[in-house]
Amino acid sequence: MESRSMWMRMRAHGWLYTFSILATLALGILIGSIISFGVKGKEQKNGDAKPLTMPAPQQLSNTFAQIAKQLEPSVVNINTESTIKNPHHRGNPDDEDNGGDDNGGGNGGMDDFFNKFFGGQNPFGGQDQGPIRERSLGSGVIVDPTGYIVTNRHVVEKADRIRVRFKDDAPGVQHDAKVVGTDDETDLAVIKVDMDHPLPAAKMGNSDSMQVGDWVLAVGSPFGLTETVTAGIVSAKGRDIVPLRQFQTFIQTDAAINPGNSGGPLVNMNGEVIGINTAILSETNAYAGVGFALPSKTVIDVYNQLIGPEHRVARGSIGIMFDAVENPAIARVYGAGSGVTVSSVVAGSPADQAGLKVGDTITAVDGEKVTKGSELVSDIASRKPGSKVRLTYLRNGKQQETTVTVADRAKLFAARLGEDQGNGDENAPKQSKFGITVQKVTPEIADRLDIPAGKGVIVRDVKPGSFAEDVNLARGDVILEINKQPVNSEDDLRRIESSLKSGQDVVFLVRQRGTTQRDGTIFLAGTLP
């Protein structure tokens, strides 16, 4: 009986709920009919519909517009021309037989590691054999009224002619510019235009004051479209996007950056330059929501040195190496709670002369604690060559100290960096015979290029006019063997390189940039001059 009574109550409630719905619907229909009837009757009776009017212009927020007007005169379009020596098709080596596509196929539509971050800026590239003229576009920002302009090194490198166009120039008018100095480590360059009147210089800001979420504007000439302004926010700070680039930490932004934006400014809401747009993260070499700008703190430091008497950036070094990726296992094995454990000591370097050895863990510099390799590099690099620094380190669990004289990093690592010092010092490291800078293939690169982990070295840079350029080695190529000898590290390459003499044949087994395991490898060969 109790259950039957409950069922009856539920049934009654259900009818009530149903009735409520029907009543609501009926009421809505009735009200709708009345409104419809009233409106319809009013239209027929009065005919009082009024024409639409355009309201007077009203500026709701003009912050972006004010910044754009302030910065655009300081942002320039850069047009470069260069002669490409021995250009060749860098796609599948069997393209002639399999009908390779016009874009140098063989990568299945997947851009390789270098294109992912530093895609080419040349919109006129082709496959003609023999020397060709290449044109590229970029941006720059005036930082001194006398004509000094900051841009990216990759915008002006290897250029035979650099021309600059200002905002108010008549169509077709361009001004020749000369390179004052460049810095490979940060991909920055300073160029200068000689003018007979002061130029509108942008105001530099402090990148350290920026926070994630702050509004920013990117100004430049994407795809040659001058005076383009895009808006976004600071998405992240301190981004390391290229392995072993110790002096490149970026501001990440979602302000649209595309080819041609390189070298243009990233500005804050005070209209101050807080970064130089340098790279994008994209699978298509076009904007995908992630862009990177070098912080103004780095830009100012590099600029001040490039305009100096030597027109180069001097960075300190003590001649040690360490694991770039922090690994707690290293600290546990070597008995150090925190610090930087030395994995290699350059022979004859200041660290070697001061007695530092592999396995020592540096814990402090002049009494200031260091816990990460980036902190140690930043501290030592900022010191002038010839200055002295006191290092605290642990060896076999015991704390020790030593004093080290800081050396010039470029001279100390000349062979590894592939830089020609040309200073006539017989004790200085000899110039690289090949003229290339390489780095070990990281797991990320190995996975992207379909290469077994630990195999090969990737070409990071090729010196113009070098032996490597003569045999057509290119940035992004992976060297697997030299003269039948495996090359799995920088030391392997330097050991083989040092054993070769002028007149000897050199054969590189190479996985070319943008190709995969399916495409195979090729030989690049020549005779050392």
d(CA 139, CA 262): 6
Active site residues: 154, 187, 262
DSSP 146: T
Residue 282's pLDDT is 75
CB-hemisphere CA count at 13 Å for 97?
A: 4
Residue 372's pLDDT is 80
Name the nearest CA neighbour of 86 among 157, 155, 134, 135.
134
d(CA 273, CA 151): 13
DSSP string, 77-103: EEEEEEEESS----S-TTHHHHT--TT
In the CATH scheme, what architecture does the domain 414-527 have? Roll (2.30)
Which residues touch 295 (CB under 8 Å, ≥6 apart)? 207, 208, 237, 249, 250, 251, 274, 275
d(CA 255, CA 216): 7
DSSP 361: E
Give per-residue pLDDT as tens, 317-333: 998 887 766 667 766 67
The pair of structure tokens assigned to 123 is: 């919109």
Ordered per-residue pLDDT tens for the chain, 529 residues? 444 454 445 444 444 334 343 334 344 434 444 444 444 444 555 567 888 887 776 655 678 989 999 999 999 999 988 766 554 444 443 333 333 333 334 444 434 444 444 444 443 334 444 555 657 789 999 999 999 999 999 999 888 899 999 988 888 889 999 999 999 888 999 999 999 999 999 999 999 999 999 999 999 988 888 889 999 999 999 887 765 566 778 999 999 988 888 899 999 999 999 999 998 887 777 778 899 999 999 999 999 999 999 898 888 999 888 776 666 776 667 666 678 888 888 888 899 999 998 888 899 999 999 888 778 888 898 888 899 999 999 888 888 999 999 998 877 866 444 444 433 333 333 346 898 988 888 777 777 777 777 788 888 888 888 899 889 898 888 898 999 899 988 888 988 988 888 889 899 988 887 666 555 678 888 888 8
Q: Are strands 161-165 and 75-84 parallel, antiparallel or unpaired?
A: antiparallel
Residue 211's pLDDT is 94
Cβ pair 385, 406 in contact under 8 A? yes
Classified by CATH at the fold level, domain 65-85+131-313 comes out as: Thrombin, subunit H (2.40.10)
Q: Do domains 65-85+131-313 and 316-411 have the same CATH topology?
A: no
Q: Are strands 203-204 and 272-280 parallel, antiparallel or unpaired?
A: parallel
Longest CA–CA span in the chain (Å) reads: 112
Q: Are strands 272-280 and 291-295 parallel, antiparallel or unpaired?
A: antiparallel
Residue 101's pLDDT is 37
d(CA 523, CA 284): 29
Q: Is 296 helix (H, G, I), strand (E, B) or coil?
A: helix
| Side chain identity, residue 178 | K
Spell out the domain ranges in the chain.
65-85+131-313, 316-411, 414-527
Q: Are strands 75-84 and 132-144 parallel, antiparallel or unpaired?
A: antiparallel
d(CA 240, CA 251): 10
Name the nearest CA neighbour of 418 among 442, 439, 435, 402.
435
DSSP 201: P
Residue 455's pLDDT is 85
| Side chain identity, residue 396 | N
Considering the entire predicted model, what is its pTM?
0.59
d(CA 395, CA 357): 9
Residue 212's pLDDT is 95
Cβ pair 219, 70 in contact under 8 A? no
d(CA 433, CA 466): 8
Residue 106's pLDDT is 41
Q: φ and ψ at 12, to 5 degrees?
A: -65, -40
d(CA 179, CA 193): 9
What CATH number matches the domain at 316-411, 3.30.1280.10, 2.60.120.1440, 2.30.42.10, 1.20.1250.20? 2.30.42.10
Q: φ and ψ at 229, to 5 degrees?
A: -120, 130
Q: φ and ψ at 10, to 5 degrees?
A: -65, -40
Cβ pair 117, 290 in contact under 8 A? no
